Amino acid sequence: MSSLKVMLGVLAAGLMLSGCMQATRYEATDTKAFKPKDKELLAKVRYENTAVAEPFRRAIVDYHRKESPGSIVVDSDNHYLYYVLDGGKAIRYGITVGEEAMAWSGIAKVGSKTEWPAWHPTPGEISRLGVPTYVAPGPDNPMGSRAMYLYSGGKDTLFRIHGTNQPEYIGASISSGCIRLTNEDAIDLYDRVKVGTLVVVLEPKHGDSPYNSRLALGNNGTGQAGSF
């Protein structure tokens, strides 16, 4: 029943957003860019590869915020992740985010990256979800095809941007706090992102980013990542 409520909520949000969206250019997945291992494992998935609702499909959109090109901005309220481009544009990805009590906001950086990661659930997840302490990499692993690990103050926040084996929940708030993309979108974003990339996760009900990433980096816009 709860899954049905989530799905109805995603559909309703998609319909509302589609009524007021700016013109967008949707980006088809370029499977030619996938590695042989990606093609092999994605062909073996056992989950239903549900199509993402149109408002949450990857698209190039106009972008009015002040973050520097190459930055990531996460708008949890609207279930979007933006990868900032030059020229007032961004690549917008639909995402699954954490339930309100488990959400995180702030400034971090990508501290490390992994292809087809293993899953090491936190003690809280093990207790709450009844999952094992370790899940090996693979097509049905909840971490999906890629993981980007968020660090702040030089420490692992335990929050990640990663793929998913539940694409039907893109546009919903059900995760344990991590930011999920479809496996195909996770590969696309991973290939663009470098270790040290700035990540701004907006506060709930915060319409605009309170940060300019050049200032947040503390380097007068030199593009070198500081310590977070």
Catalytic residues: 162, 178
d(CA 9, CA 201): 22
Round to whole Å and give the CA distance between 223 and 227: 13
d(CA 195, CA 133): 27
Four-point Cα dihedral 159, 164, 168, 171, nearest 10: 30
CA distance 228 to 223: 14
> For 35-71, b where at least 16 C-beta lie within 10 A, e where not — what string?
eeebeebbeebeeeeeebbebbbbbebebebbbbebb
Q: Which amino acid is at 59?
A: A
